[in-house]
């Protein structure tokens, strides 16, 4: 395992211990499942 893999793992463990982070992931998953999403052109306009 190289240092970058270890650092990524450590970063993931820290993030997963943050309740707000976990709640935001759950909220985003529910919004996506319910179709409460925006398309790229709705956010950034058409090119």
Q: What is the dihedral of CA 7, 11, 13, 18, to 10 degrees?
A: 170
Using DSSP, state whether 39 is helix, strand or coil. coil
Domains in the chain: boundaries: 3-33
- Report the alpha-carbon angle 41-42-46, nearest 5: 30
Average pLDDT value for residue range 23-46: 94
Instruction: Tell me the whole-structure pTM to 2 decimals.
Output: 0.63
Say if residues 38 and 45 touch (Cβ distance below 8 Å).
Answer: no
* Angle, alpha carbons 37-41-47 (nearest 5°): 165
**pLDDT, tens digit, 9 for 90 and up, residues 16-27:** 999 999 999 999
What confidence score (pLDDT) does residue 10 get?
95
Tell me how far the alpha carbon of residue 7 is from its chain's centroid: 18
**High-pLDDT (> 90) share of the chain, %:** 91
């Amino acid at each position: 395992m190289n240092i970058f893999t270890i650092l990524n793992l450590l970063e993931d463990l820290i993030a997963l211990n943050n309740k707000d982070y976990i709640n935001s992931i759950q909220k985003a998953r529910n919004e996506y499942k319910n179709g409460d999403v925006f398309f790229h052109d709705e956010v950034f306009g058409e090119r």
